[in-house]
Structure 1
């Protein structure tokens, strides 16, 4: 089976901030996936394979380090990225969608749900920051990428499979190695495009826990179905955030998952897809 199936076909959409790559599979209720940093829409390939018979699975390449082309004039703060999500929805003709965010993609999804609640039909957050959490590995990465020339050196270092599996890189977010061709798709832009490295540095430079310290409590007004999925072996994002998110959103439910780090679309895609399928089936056709 093609590793990238069913998301192997990529097209681009133009929005005010630039050009965004987008992959789709299936038909039905629109589900918009938001991946984490230094990943792209292929992170959802296994989930989309199982959900495509039930939903229109939309997996853009958000400007978080694995995107192309670069977006040198874009606002890559969390509020700016939330606007990019809405602009992509507009470009795809989506009035609303079920938002599914993983890792820092969940941070973005929270801001979308707070600032543009009419665009989120429902919300799924899988291992993400919440409230004022500020993972130590991200702080280290922020300091490293701020050094002159550090981005190019880090991109070169990440060519090593050994480096890719370290606790402070992909080995900290996935229990199992990511296929080599998928890793190449995640890292090629960082390896080859200085402007993409500049985008990633700008994103990290604007990343601050204050954004979710403001946004997460406001999810108390998000009176739509919500699902919080948390891996019991998560290393970066505090479990207390999952509990607080579930208590904050009026219609939220918490599910815990074993045998996975934070990137459940890579570690436990079948289980995550089953949870999403059940969640989508519960949504009324008349849901706002």
Structure 2
């Protein structure tokens, strides 16, 4: 049986960071989750519950989200990656595997690039390379630019099908369940997150990400069109792409399908190089 989450609120300089750890049995490298924009850690719990109960999982609210404090000035992605590394130090973790979802996928890329020794493997779900990307439809992006769906749950339910696609188009109960887990910290934290990614791109250094990388994409994602995930898989040298028959939030709506793909990827050991024997030299004539 999986262990219950252990919640802690920690102080890192001027920041208060709310963390949640689901203990594992120590047999696997822990998994650190970078969540989507405006998303408190409760929103990924259905996904975590679908993972192997022996896997230790670390989730947290970034500054300005959920139970974490809102900074007076915004962080950029490198600053947030540094804060995540400091959080791991505080919680006494060395190396982790990292998964980033949507906005959190950009932060996960930054973390893997800036702290390669801390990140063993990388999983990128429904995300892109930042400013160099093929954008979603203007109507969808306009709705994403506002935190209204988190502050006003009824509005979030109303637009869920349009912005998340996939199963959210067909099942209104999914939007209600999603909205019930939302814990908003207000508008400022959301705008700070938008600012973190303003003008940011990983495109020029993606080829330097050396970690084994699993790229997961939804084929009906209005926010991140599929071509962006194909580009990530093309640019990251040691990567593989899996396409899921769903929308932007497939980690939640298709957790039972996606979790085994992720566990298989995390369990794979990098194959050692095989030293081929020298060919026999031809006899002298």
TM-score under structure 2 length normalisation: 0.79
Q: Is the 8 A contact 1:26 1:52 kept in 2?
A: no
Q: 1:78 and 1:142, CA in 2 relative to 1: closer, same or farther beyond 3 A?
A: farther
Say if 2:57 is the partner of 1:57: yes
SS state of the match for residue 142, structure 2? helix
**How many residues matched?**
263
Deviation at 1:227, TM superposition (A): 0.4
Counterpart contact for 1:173–1:235, Cα < 8 Å: no
Moved beyond 6 Å, runs of 4+: none
Task: Tell me the residue number matched to 1:47.
Answer: 47
Q: CA RMSD in A?
A: 3.0
Query: 1:179, 1:10 → 2: CA distance?
Result: 26
SS at match of 1:189: coil
- C-alpha deviation, 1:228, in angstroms: 0.4
* CA distance in structure 2 between the aligned counterparts of 1:24 and 1:33, rounded to whole angstroms: 10
The one of 12, 15, 24 equivalent to 2:9 is 12
Q: Which runs of 5+ in 1 are unaligned?
A: 146-150, 191-195
Q: How does 1:169-180 map to 2 (within 5 A)?
A: 174-175=168-169, 176=171, 177-178=173-174, 180=176
Query: What residue in structure 2 maps to residue 263 of structure 1?
Result: 249
Partner of 2:214: 227
Instruction: State TM-score, norm by structure 1.
Output: 0.78
In proportion to residue count, which structure has more helix? 1
Larger radius of gyration: 2
Residue 200 (str. 1) matches residue 195 (str. 2) = no
> 2: distance between equivalents of 1:48 and 1:108?
19
* Distance of aligned partners of 1:173 and 1:124 in 2 relative to their CA distance in 1, 3 Å threshold: farther
Q: Is the 8 A contact 1:14 1:91 kept in 2?
A: no
The match for 1:211 is 200
Within 5 Å, which residues of 2 pair with 1:75-224?
Answer: 75-131=74-130, 132-133=132-133, 134-135=135-136, 136=138, 139-141=141-143, 145=146, 157-160=152-155, 162-163=157-158, 165=160, 167-168=162-163, 174-175=168-169, 176=171, 177-178=173-174, 180=176, 183-186=179-182, 188-190=183-185, 196-208=186-198, 210-212=199-201, 215-224=202-211
**Greater mean deviation of Cα atoms: 269-278 or 243-252:** 243-252
Query: Equivalent residue of 2:205, what SS?
Result: helix
CA distance in 2, matches of 1:155, 1:55: 30
